[in-house]
């Protein structure tokens, strides 16, 4: 074979090799302590779980930290291949692919004890929330029934800042409630708020259970192969007990 043909074959093989074959994926994430944080070993329990799931398939992971809204945009615009972790919403499903469930938590409304919020999570009972202003971190999804209530003009959302900032606004009486998953909210109250602020806050009963997923850009098409590889790796960690072990270690660790 001539030198020219050898070089041509090498070039064609390089062009034909999919990104997947490189065994590397770039995932945009944001601070969500204690589950995801640059200050935690392995960036937290969720990134550790994701990295180990991919590792079973021979894929390494690179993480980049961004504000959550930008992390989503980085994926939607194809600059990063995936982001972790997200609940499903129509906006996200229109442009992205979702992995199997990575994490679940209960959605609640945090409220100020000086102005209790009584809602059982039902469509009928949502009338009890009339006139409330509900805080939401920028880039987070709204609880569906509350989003519908906002469209009907029963209440309004005030989106901005991060979760800690919203809880402080609630403690100060500047908003009426915060739409947030229970586990994260309780950790932030115990770790980031002072004792006086923490004593002012309480939660409704759980409104629903929210599942979180690894979210992939729908293009290029090779991202679907990354999704399939991740789901396969996650299933492996669940079958061999490694996922349960990671969560046991996380829950037992002092924070």
For the segment 9-38, the average pLDDT, to the nearest whole number, is 70
Q: Tell me what pLDDT residue 81 has.
A: 96
Structural domain contains residue 224: yes
Give the list of residues 6+ apart from residue 79 with CB closer than 8 angstroms, or none: none
Query: Residue 77: is its pLDDT beyond 80?
Result: yes
Q: Tell me what pLDDT residue 6 has.
A: 40
Q: What does DSSP say about strands 133-136 and 82-86: parallel, antiparallel, or unpaired?
A: unpaired
pLDDT digits over 136-189, tens only? 998 888 999 999 999 999 999 999 989 999 999 999 999 999 999 999 999 999
Q: What is the domain-level CATH number for residue 238?
A: 3.40.190.10
3 state DSSP class of 141? coil
**What is the tally of structural domains in the chain?**
2
Q: How far apart are CA 143 and CA 130, in angstroms?
A: 16
DSSP state, residue 142: P
Structural domain contains residue 42: yes
Q: What does DSSP say about strands 96-112 and 133-136: parallel, antiparallel, or unpaired?
A: unpaired
Q: How many whole angstroms from its chain centre is CA 95?
A: 16
Q: Which two tokens mark 114?
A: 């000086």
Same domain, 100 and 217: yes
Q: Tell me what pLDDT residue 138 has.
A: 86
Same domain, 123 and 182: yes
Structural domain contains residue 135: yes
Residue 127's domain comprises 105-209
């Amino acid at each position: 074979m001539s030198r020219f043909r050898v070089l041509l074959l090498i070039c064609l093989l390089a062009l034909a090799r999919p990104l997947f074959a490189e065994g590397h994926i770039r995932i945009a994430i944001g601070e969500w302590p204690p589950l995801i944080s640059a200050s935690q070993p392995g960036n937290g329990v969720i990134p550790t779980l994701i990295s180990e799931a991919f590792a079973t398939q021979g894929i390494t992971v690179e993480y980049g930290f961004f504000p959550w809204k930008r992390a989503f945009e980085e994926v939607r615009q194809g600059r990063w291949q995936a982001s972790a972790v997200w609940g499903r919403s129509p906006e996200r499903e229109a442009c992205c692919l979702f992995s199997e469930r990575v994490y679940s938590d209960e959605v609640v409304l945090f409220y100020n004890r000086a102005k209790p919020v009584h809602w059982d999570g039902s469509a009928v009972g949502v009338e009890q929330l009339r006139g409330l202003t509900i805080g939401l971190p920028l880039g987070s999804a709204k609880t569906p029934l509350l989003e519908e209530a906002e469209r009907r003009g029963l209440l309004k959302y005030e989106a901005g800042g991060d979760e800690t900032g919203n809880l402080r606004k609630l403690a100060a009486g500047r908003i009426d409630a915060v739409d947030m998953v229970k586990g994260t909210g309780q950790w932030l109250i115990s770790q980031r708020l002072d004792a006086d602020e923490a004593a002012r806050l309480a939660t409704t009963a759980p409104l629903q259970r929210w599942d979180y997923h690894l979210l992939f850009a729908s293009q290029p098409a090779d991202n679907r192969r990354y999704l399939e590889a991740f789901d396969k790796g996650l299933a492996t960690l669940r079958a061999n007990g490694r996922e349960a072990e990671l969560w046991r270690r996380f829950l037992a660790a002092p924070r």
